[in-house]
């Protein structure tokens, strides 16, 4: 069989008393997690779940997410992970678009899920830990795991919608299984002795595969942190003697700048993994100096289950690079005509391999647009060096064309991050009557820093070509971020005059 739920059943059989999940002082063993999942699968069957039915999960990083995720798969359903902070109209859209038959919502949510489910005509169940445990208690665990083919959809993961309304990426059992196994065996080298800090949201593909699925497959322990807060993460690392931390660049910046970072006991960490967006090189070096742990950067997408490339631990690491493709995955860099670019030149990164999605749910035209020939067009611009290492230059849609010259925001952001007063920076293009676009930058300063816009502008001007430096720089208290911690450039708008910036 190819069902992804086999990971849990097999690990529970091999090490039943091993710690699967930790939340504070609470520990759930693999035997307990497998039993709860099997009981929840019975619950789903009593609710009328049939093979191929979609079930929405609107839960934060809590044990019930893991229980229900594997229960849905075990029962032959398709998991539709959703951000528990979605509003009524967003919930209704996701449920209608996916054709979900059932939705689970965390009890502390404000009821938006209930209202959205009612509008979509979908059965809605509130998950409160004590009540949920009481409901599962008398149920007979479902024996066996629903047979599926590797090409069957396991997860319907909705993209962030940066280019329109969210689309459901159809991720298969085989694709998710491949990515999990490669991560465990060849990339992160995870064993049952590892303890992984799970502060990445499980409803997002990075956390779902690279922490949860990797832990379950390897028999490692997953320490669930319901919400990313620097001190909570540092405390979790120390208390659990964590060996692996995985996060997005904004998390690394926040941990690096946290006042308690210097006192935290992170001596057990053997590896840190960064993904989701480009990690500024200065943040990488600063984090490694402060925490004494190597950070390995990779690249992935929702549509690729997610990992495409990685700085492999058995090969030389190149800071700033997303490494080389993982096993069985191919990468090409293409020009606008779909032809391979020369080495060292910039092209759109295209991916082919077992990890690539089947397509967007019920969207054949949009699927054809990104998968015209079996190669997934990522929308990311990259270059490849002489050793085959890949470097993300920028998102294709973020490219700034200033008077006919291409300006890659990431290059300018890297320079800004080299300034000692800069904590975070986002470079965007703003409309310009004569040039088409102008370069602009929103900057968050480190605590107590005094640098002003003019100083930052001059700092960059001295280090890049004249057409690249930002003509407009403004300071903000924070940059808008999405649920996975990525900076949302689409929500950044330059101020029309002196004063605070607007957001769309």
State the 10-residue block means of pLDDT for the chain, 504 residues long.
93 98 96 98 97 97 98 98 89 96 92 94 97 97 95 93 76 98 94 96 95 98 94 96 94 92 93 89 94 94 96 90 97 95 94 98 95 94 95 88 83 94 95 89 95 96 92 96 88 70 38
375 touches 176 (CB < 8 A)? no
- Give the pLDDT score at 396: 84
Contacts of 212 (CB under 8 A, 6+ apart): 66, 69, 198, 202, 222
Quote the pLDDT of residue 405: 78
Confidence (pLDDT) at 260: 87
Residue 52, Ramachandran bin (φ over 0: left; ψ between -120 and 50: alpha; else beta): left
CA distance 166 to 164: 6
| Local structure of 385: helix, strand or coil | coil
> What's the pLDDT score for residue 399?
85
| Predicted local distance difference test score (pLDDT) of residue 164 | 62
Distances (CA, A) of 147 to 51, 152, 204, 302, 376: 9, 10, 26, 25, 28
| pLDDT (0 to 100) of residue 504 | 34
Is there a contact between 218 and 190 (Cβ–Cβ < 8 Å)?
A: yes
Question: What is the pLDDT at residue 161?
Answer: 53
- pLDDT value of position 271: 95
Whole-number pLDDT of residue 1: 61
Question: How remote is the C-alpha of 188 from its chain's centroid?
Answer: 16
Q: What is the domain partition of the chain in residue ranges?
A: 399-491
* CA pair distance 483, 228, nearest whole angstrom: 10
Residues 464 and 442: their CA atoms lie apart, in Å, by 18
Taking CA atoms, 261 is separated from 231, 266, 348, 386, 403, in Å, by 8, 9, 38, 37, 44
374-390 CB burial, b ≥16 within 10 A, e <16: ebbbbbbbbbbeeeebb
Place of tokens 């993300």: 392
Q: Nearest Cα to 379, choosing from 196, 56, 175, 163?
A: 163
Fold topology of 399-491: GMP Synthetase; Chain A, domain 3 (3.30.300)
Tell me how far apart the alpha carbons of residues 207 and 119 are, in angstroms, rounded to a whole number.
Answer: 30
Quote the CA–CA distance of 77 and 115 in Å, as a whole number: 23
Contact 164, 173 (CB under 8 A): no
């Amino acid at each position: 069989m190819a069902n992804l739920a086999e990971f849990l059943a097999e690990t529970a059989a091999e090490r039943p008393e091993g710690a699967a999940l930790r939340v504070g002082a609470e520990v759930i063993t693999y035997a307990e997690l497998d039993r709860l999942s099997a009981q929840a699968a019975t619950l789903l069957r009593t609710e009328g779940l049939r093979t191929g039915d979609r079930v929405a999960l609107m839960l934060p990083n809590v044990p019930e997410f893991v229980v229900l995720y594997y229960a849905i798969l075990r029962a032959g359903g398709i998991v539709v992970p959703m951000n528990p902070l979605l509003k009524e109209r967003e919930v209704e859209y996701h449920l209608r678009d996916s054709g979900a038959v059932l939705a689970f919502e965390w009890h502390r949510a404000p009821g938006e899920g209930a209202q959205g489910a009612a509008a979509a005509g979908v059965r809605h169940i509130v998950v409160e830990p004590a009540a949920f445990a009481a409901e599962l208690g008398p149920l007979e665990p479902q024996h066996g795991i629903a047979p599926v083919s590797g090409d069957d959809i396991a997860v319907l993961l909705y993209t962030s919608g940066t280019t329109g309304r969210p689309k459901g990426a159809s991720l298969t059992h085989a694709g998710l299984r491949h990515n999990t196994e490669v991560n465990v065996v060849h990339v992160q080298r995870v064993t049952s002795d590892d303890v992984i800090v799970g502060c990445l949201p499980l409803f997002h593909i990075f956390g779902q595969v690279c922490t949860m699925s990797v832990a379950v497959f390897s028999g490692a322990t997953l320490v669930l942190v319901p919400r990313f807060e620097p001190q909570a993460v540092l405390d979790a690392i120390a208390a659990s003697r964590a060996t692996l931390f995985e996060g997005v660049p904004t998390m690394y910046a926040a941990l690096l700048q946290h006042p308690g970072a210097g006192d935290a006991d992170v001596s057990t960490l053997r590896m840190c993994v960064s993904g989701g967006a480009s990690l500024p090189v200065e943040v990488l070096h600063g984090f490694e100096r402060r925490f004494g742990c190597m950070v390995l950067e990779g690249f992935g997408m929702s549509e690729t289950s997610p990992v495409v490339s990685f700085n492999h631990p058995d090969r030389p690491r190149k800071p700033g690079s997303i490494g080389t493709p993982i096993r069985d995955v191919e990468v090409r860099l293409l020009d606008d005509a779909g032809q391979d670019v020369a080495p060292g030149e910039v092209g759109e990164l295209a991916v082919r391999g077992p990890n690539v999605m089947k397509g967007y749910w019920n969207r054949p035209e949009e699927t054809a647009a990104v998968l015209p020939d079996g190669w997934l067009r990522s929308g990311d611009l990259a270059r490849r060096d002489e050793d085959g290492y890949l470097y993300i230059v920028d998102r294709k849609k973020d490219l700034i064309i200033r008077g006919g010259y291409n300006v890659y925001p990431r290059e300018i952001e890297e320079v800004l991050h080299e300034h000692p007063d800069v904590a975070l920076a986002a470079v965007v293009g703003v409309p310009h009557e004569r040039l088409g676009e102008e370069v602009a930058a929103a900057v968050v300063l480190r605590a107590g820093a005094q640098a002003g816009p003019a100083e930052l502008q001059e700092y960059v001007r001295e280090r890049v070509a004249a057409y690249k430096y930002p003509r407009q720089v403004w300071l903000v208290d924070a940059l808008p971020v999405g649920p996975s911690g990525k900076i949302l450039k689409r929500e950044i708008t330059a101020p029309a005059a002196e004063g605070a910036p607007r957001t769309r």
